Structure 1
Amino acid sequence: MIELGEIVTETPDEIVEALRAHPSIIRFELLESADRRVLTKYEMTDTELYDFVEASSSIVEFPVVAQDGWFEFELTGTREDLERLRATLDAEGAAYELQSLVGTTDADVLLTDRQRELLEIAVRSGYFEVPRKCTLAELAATVGIDKATASTVLRRGEAKIVKWFLSGPGMKGNVP
């Protein structure tokens, strides 16, 4: 199994050496090491860690982040996949914490095409970065609309997303 792993630790050099020396790792590549974060790619023979994922039919999104004895990663699957995963972890007595659950049923129709397009361009252009990498005027010029229209489309789209997020995807009545 080839894995992309991100490790956050106070001792990155020690962790890298431990990974290089681990008997189940047959190939190791250090991709990046900065501050307390190490990003690695390695091939391993021991796949026991992922048995629970295979049993649930979920798909692990890499990188896997290891921090303070916990592994953090995202899984993609259906509601049934999640229930199988929970049952598997509970049966094994494994400690776990569900940090978030994202459903896409209502999100696909949440925004208008224009709102989605402008928000996607804004994200790609760095409009939401701190500090901003593009201004509202530059964003508007990119899509060929005036600044006031761009502002209105963005605010309405943002408002829908925030209300949807805060009220939950099942509460359609709270989202205009």
Structure 2
Amino acid sequence: MAQATLTITMPEQVWIQQLSTTYPTATFRVLAAVPGAETGFALVRITGTDVDDVIEATRDHPQILELTLVHSSENEATVHFETTAPLLLFSAQESGMPIELPIEVVDGKTTIEVTGSRDRLAGLAEQLDRFGLSYRIEHVRERLHESQLLSDRQLEVVAAAVEEGYYDTPRRCSLTELAEYLGIAKSTCSETLHRAEEGIIKRFVEDLPELDTEEPLEDQLASS
């Protein structure tokens, strides 16, 4: 499985782009969302000093068919609405790639996390292009389950090392003390820790964002 982080800029003709750029200090936090046949429904928390104005502008926008105020307090409100322009939802639906919620839209932009097969990610890129959503790729990486990174024994030793303070500065537990705590030879403890640390460090380095963000997502998926 591959995991991608993308920063998306909404098209100018879409209500969320218009309102979030008109009120750039407001944050639209999408808590839940579902696409319908031709519209989309969402539960959104709006925060900022202009919340009342934002809600009224949202209610009056022609792309908002219905808006219900769920909760409001000073500088914060939660609303449920139906819109004719849920472009992110349509992109996710058409590609079969769910977007991890919540996401935040500020000043016309949002950063999303998606996880799935490389074919699905490429399909999402095609749908984003289709709906006029420009995007910048922050990174694409392989997403492996933790069990593929460390063996059960390595995980046990590392967890004990953390709990006993072996990795603290200064250390609260020496390698000899850790081995005695685990009931294993010092050399076995050292070797197990070394192999576990190797896997963890290599995974960390692999996850560093080194990809060319100007290259299309489909090309990055094909070449990586």
Q: Please give the range of the TM-score, normalised by the shorter of the 2 chains.
A: 0.5 to 0.7
1:43 to 75, 80, 85: 80
Question: For residue 109 of structure 1, what is the aligned residue in structure 2?
Answer: 148
Q: Which amino acid aligns with 2:86?
A: E
2:49 to 3, 7, 13: 13
Report the CA distance between 1:45 and its aligned residue.
0.3
**Greater RCO (Cα-Cα under 8 Å, separation 6 or more):** 2
Distance 2:46 2:154 in 1: 34
Q: Is 2:42–2:82's contact at 8 Å kept on the other side of the alignment?
A: no
Question: For residue 161 of structure 1, what is the aligned residue in structure 2?
Answer: 200
Q: Which amino acid aligns with 1:75?
A: V
Question: For residue 5 of structure 2, what is the aligned residue in structure 1?
Answer: none
- Output one character per residue of 1:40-78: Cα deviation in whole Å (capped at 9) or x when no partner: 653220152322111111112111122332111212322
Report the CA distance between 1:112 and its aligned residue.
1.3
**Number of residue pairs the alignment of both structures matches:** 145
Q: Is 1:110–1:161's contact at 8 Å kept on the other side of the alignment?
A: yes
Report the CA distance between 1:27 and its aligned residue.
3.2
- Output one character per residue of 1:81-139: Cα deviation in whole Å (capped at 9) or x when no partner: 1111111122333210122223235864221124445667999x8x9xxxx8xx866xx
The equivalences for 1:126-145 within 5 A come to 145=182
Is 1:62 aligned to 2:101, yes or no?
Answer: yes
Aligned-pair identity (%):
23
**Please, what TM-score do these two structures have when normalized by structure 1?**
0.57
Higher strand residue share: 2
Report the CA distance between 1:26 and its aligned residue.
1.9
Residue ranges of structure 2 left out of the alignment (5+ in a row): 1-40, 208-224
Structure 2 counterpart SS, 1:82:
helix
**Please, what TM-score do these two structures have when normalized by structure 2?**
0.47
Q: Is 1:6–1:65's contact at 8 Å kept on the other side of the alignment?
A: no
Q: Is 1:58–1:77's contact at 8 Å kept on the other side of the alignment?
A: yes
1:99 to 138, 147, 152: 138
- CA-based RMSD of the aligned residues comes to 4.3
Structure 1 counterpart SS, 2:143:
coil
Residue ranges of structure 1 left out of the alignment (5+ in a row): 169-176
Question: For residue 80 of structure 1, what is the aligned residue in structure 2?
Answer: 119
